[in-house]
Amino acid sequence: MKCLIIAAGKGSRLKQKGDSKPLLPLLGIPLIERVIRTALEAGVEEFYVVTGYHGERVSDFLDQLAQRLEIQITSLVNDDWEKGNGLSVLKAREILQEPFLLLMADHLFEPSIARALTELHLSNDEIALGVDGDIRNSLIDMEDVTRVNSTGGKIHDIGKGLSDFNGFDTGIFQCSPAVFQALEQSIEKNNDTTLSGAIRILAAEGRAKAIPVNGFWLDVDDPADFKRAEQVLLGRLRDKPNDGPISRYVNRPISVLFSRYLVKFDVTPNQISLFSFLLSVVAAGLFALGGYLVLVLGGILAQLASIIDGSDGEVARLKFQSSDFGGWFDAVLDRYADAFLLFGLTWHLLVNQGSRLVLLIGFMAIIGSFMLSYTADKYDNLMRERIKTGTKGGLRMGRDVRVFIIFLGAVTNLVLPVLVLIAVVMNLETLRRVIVARD
């Protein structure tokens, strides 16, 4: 399905942030790029963007974006951008002669909402609007939102001033070309150049559907909206079901702050992974020196590296840079980092205690933490499911917990007990997996 995006308005309430609203970077990515990339995730392949205020700057950016993402984006110009947004929609009249997805450059949303709209089958003379029925939605600016009154899936009325309403206009539509006739009618008869005007005409004839949608969407109009959008996007990074307890309650809250800062720069997730790895190597080197002060310093660095290791994935998600290679590269570096840290601690003990027996303990800790990753990843989904099912009663010590224990051990100078603990727990857990997988 093709997609029309309206990016013509001035956005004067966000002037302090920058002169062109579609190009305003939100967590490192311009609003219009966020909308386009979210629509891509929802399955859209071809874009038409109506520009107006600072139109050339916007269309220059879109040309670059089209090249970078290897997609098709066509810019249309609306010189009457100061009038109602319906005129911008009309600019696509000659081009879009089949049903299309209609989006606003300043409305952020989850891909699932756009997908719900694209998957509809409308008859020729209908349009459909995604309507948020949660009228207590705390992200909504009640002064500014367009309100919708609908029953039985049909819109009765739509407008900002509505006192009788049961939902909000998310700004996400599927339109048939009937919308163009309705716009002309609205301009001619009512002298109303807004899109809402056309929807009212269609609604009066029972041709405007209300599609209930769930999930995040937000109209970014002023600095307060902007901040809310940042908070929601950052907050969602903390919802990772696979996070261990230390990740969830210690590392993630800090790494999100790092990520918020890092997205402003041209730093890739893989560079962050590599930096975290190098920090771990330095930490291991400090461990190996043997003194208590460097031990503490190494422990702090190791924990810091573990925190920063959360940022690579966060930045990737915030900047649409997630990749299979990125996840794999991060995992490979983590295995090296694990081994270096444990080897550093082993060397520390060897320097301080001299007994070669610590080598055996260090070796078992290194092999055990390796095996934990290996047994988890080695096999296909079937085997992973078996292990997972059996994990309920198992010992869970993910990388986050392991590094945190190393940090605690370093600070408290209890290196030997930490190595013994890791060696015992990791190898016992591997043994348990062998038993569980066997059935």
Q: Which is nearer to a copy of itself, 77 or 339 (CB)?
A: 339
Q: What residues contact 379, with CB distance under 8 A and at least 6 apart? A: none
CA distance 359 to 296: 21
CB of 263 to a copy of itself, least distance (A): 22
Question: Which H/E stretch holds residue 217?
Answer: strand 217-219
Which two structure tokens, joined as six digits, stand for 199?
């929807």
Residue type, 243: D
Q: Which is nearer to a copy of itself, 106 or 334 (CB)?
A: 334
SS3 assignment, position 338: helix
Q: Which is nearer to a copy of itself, 13 or 386 (CB)?
A: 386
Pairing of strands 217-219, 107-109: antiparallel
CB of 438 to a copy of itself, least distance (A): 6
> Site residues (CB under 8 A) for a copy of itself?
324-325, 328-329, 331-332, 335-336, 339, 343, 347, 350, 356, 359, 363, 366-367, 370-371, 373-375, 377-380, 382-383, 430, 434, 437-438
CB 247 within 8 A of CB 308: no
Residue type, 30: P
CB of 361 to a copy of itself, least distance (A): 12
CB of 339 to a copy of itself, least distance (A): 5
CB of 430 to a copy of itself, least distance (A): 7
Q: Which is nearer to a copy of itself, 161 or 354 (CB)?
A: 354
Looking at 148-251, list the stretches that DSSP marks H as alpha helix, in order from N- to C-terminal side.
Answer: 178-190, 195-204, 223-237, 245-246
Q: Which is nearer to a copy of itself, 224 or 331 (CB)?
A: 331
Plot region of 123 (φ>0 → left; ψ -120 to 50 → alpha; else → beta): beta
Looking at 205-291, list the stretches that DSSP marks H as alpha helix, in order from N- to C-terminal side.
Answer: 223-237, 245-246, 252-262, 269-289
Q: Which is nearer to a copy of itself, 221 or 330 (CB)?
A: 330
Q: Which is nearer to a copy of itself, 131 or 305 (CB)?
A: 305
Pairing of strands 100-104, 2-7: parallel
CB of 196 to a copy of itself, least distance (A): 46
CB of 347 to a copy of itself, least distance (A): 7
End-to-end CA distance of the chain: 48
